Structure 1
Amino acid sequence: MNSQSFTEPRQLGAVLKYDSEGNFTRENRTFTNGGAAVVVLQPGNIMTGGVAPALFDTANPAAFTGVNLTYSEVQPGASVKIATVEGGPVILNAAEIDFPADASQTATLKTAMAAVNIKLVDGLPS
């Protein structure tokens, strides 16, 4: 008997709770996998690097670019188009964002998000 295991990607609706104007708040970027392993991007990944986004790696939390909204499995050496939310007014569910374990880095990221009018809530907005 064969068995299979599936992992469901995080749903965009779990992360993005309010977006006043998607044409204004979202950016289209190109993510390039420069590593040797497949990178799985999903809604809620924190991105750094500006126009050439990279997954947040705890090196510089103040270099916040945006929050990824796209699910994609990126093969080594491949590039894919992604959508990011880089400013607001936007409300995101903080419980679904991939914040680092380090409390000071998380605080720095939350400050950077607030500076570009991204509001964080736990669960549904009130």
Structure 2
Amino acid sequence: MFGLLLLLLDAQGAALIRPGDWEYKDLIAILLTVVSLIVTFIGFIVAVAAIWGFQTLRGIAEQLAIETSKSGSDNYLSSEKFKEQVDAAIAAGMEARARDAVQDVLGASIVRSDVAPEHQMRDEEWRD
């Protein structure tokens, strides 16, 4: 970049500058301009590297999270604790279905108290 500035100065500005017209303030202004251009270029490179690094880190973190999740779930699904929980849930479900089936069959054959003949009198007062 500094070389490009020197080439530009040599091609364009060298003819405008007469010998003896250079002062320290001119040299300092040119050097500060070059330094500011270099700092800007370095800042641009750092920004691009930061964006690229963030994308790379996010991709690696996603991959690692997926792998950890898969291995953890595989370990849990193959554990004895999970098998015991599944067996208990199946047993509870089968017991509930059997209980409901027995209650449905017995419900039709049992006379309920509210349909008994002694409770169908309308003249009777309410009793607790």
Q: TM-score, normalised by structure 1?
A: 0.18
Q: Which has the higher contact order (CA 8 A, sep 6+)?
A: 1
Higher Cα radius of gyration: 2
Q: TM-score, normalised by structure 2?
A: 0.18
Higher strand share goes to which structure? 1
Higher helix share goes to which structure? 2
